[in-house]
Structure 1
Amino acid sequence: MTVLTTERLVVRDWTADPGDLARIYDIYSRPEVIRWLGAASGLPLTDPAGAADRLAWWRERHAGHGSRYGTWAIEARATGLVVGTVLLKPLPGRDERVPTTDIEVGWHLHPDSWGHGYATEAARAVVTRELAAGTPQVWAVVAPGNAASAAVARRLGMAHVGRRTDWYGGEELDAFVLRADG
């Protein structure tokens, strides 16, 4: 299902199609991608069969959210290539089983798709939609040292508000916020 479109991208549900599962595995088995996702992420994927488990976990995590929150595929309209993932969801708190009321935007792109502005374009679309729905602010949390993701957050107009330990089990992360009121 298509969640939204931009000039160059389709943001859609990941599917159990073999092409999607292969791309999930290809993205989430790469050390250069998962190094920024934290110890609790359950990554890297080490077996292609793990892609189906990851998809099932995403579906379960977002089952009650309709299409408002999710972990979605980012597909380039010109080529049909899935370039990565964009997510919008409640941030997990210090107890990672308990979501907070803080809403997170995030992105994970395949290295063959870095440097094309896809993360910024997809994230801007989901953030714009979420703020228009009445959410007062959206957060991005970035592993310290991940300059590329920090740059995406800044391109989105997000303000760096320092390092925080409020989320993801208390992991220290650089926090960026974009408030609806400017």
Structure 2
Amino acid sequence: MVIAKGLRLETDRCLIRTFRPDDVEAAVAYLGDPVVMEFIEPCYSREQTSAFLRTAGGGPVPLVHAVEQRSTHLLIGHVIFHRWQGSPAWELGWILRKDVWGRGIATELSRALITHAFGGGVTQLVAECVPENHASIAVMEKVGLVRAPQLDRDLPVWSITKP
């Protein structure tokens, strides 16, 4: 069974964990950055970030989980990991501070979540992405997701199925 609430996964460089109240300021730094948020949503204010962490990062079934850099114990972003739109598939995604881009961290996190999901009985993972976000598309394809236009809803979808 896949664990979403209380998720704790370690990778070589990161810890995926539940958000804590003291994560708000660090989250504001990346959720309020227009470069980071370019392909996602408008930038979040401190109040919006705090509400987002309480609602999406808390509750009985969190939609997002904090990503902490193990060497510094600093919050560097979050992953999206939850059941996708009422289907048996789970959604995979990430938002990371721009100073950690290009270092393979999104790939590392994605591989860990795919392994966790498939080991826990999930048979399909999906990721949504705007076509202009070439870096995220490259990560998705690197970890085995393929374009799945039959699943498109609001955004184009990529998918990976358990072998």
Distance 1:103 1:77 in 2: 26
SS at match of 1:32: coil
Report sequence identity in percent.
26
Q: What residue identity is the alignment partner of 1:30? A: D
Whether 1:4 aligns to 2:9 is: yes
- Aligned CA distance change for structure 1 residues 88 and 147 (closer, same or farther; 3 Å): same
SS at match of 2:89: strand
Could you tell me whether the CA contact under 8 Å between 1:2 and 1:10 is conserved in 2? no
The 5 A counterparts of 1:1-182 are 3-17=8-22, 20-38=23-41, 43-46=42-45, 48-60=46-58, 63-65=59-61, 70-92=63-85, 99-162=86-149, 164-166=151-153, 171=154, 173-181=155-163
SS at match of 2:30: helix
Q: Cα RMSD (Å) of the superposition?
A: 2.0
* Cα deviation code 1:52-109 (max 9, x no counterpart): 211111145xx333xxx641111111122222111111223xxxxxx33331100001
Distance 1:14 1:152 in 2: 24
Distance 1:148 1:29 in 2: 20
* Residue segments in structure 2 that go unaligned for 5+ positions in a row: 1-5
Residue 3 of structure 2 corresponds to which residue in structure 1? none
SS at match of 1:34: coil
Q: Which has the higher strand share?
A: 1
* Cα deviation code 1:88-136 (max 9, x no counterpart): 11223xxxxxx33331100001111111111111121112111111111
Distance 2:140 2:90 in 1: 14
SS at match of 2:9: strand
Displacement of 1:164: 4.9
* Residue segments in structure 1 that go unaligned for 5+ positions in a row: 93-98
Distance 1:100 1:161 in 2: 15
Total equivalences in the alignment:
158
TM-score, normalised relative to structure 1: 0.78
Distance 1:107 1:180 in 2: 20
* Cα deviation code 1:29-54 (max 9, x no counterpart): 1122222225xxxx4213x2332211
Distance 2:71 2:107 in 1: 17
Could you tell me whether the CA contact under 8 Å between 1:157 and 1:178 is conserved in 2? yes
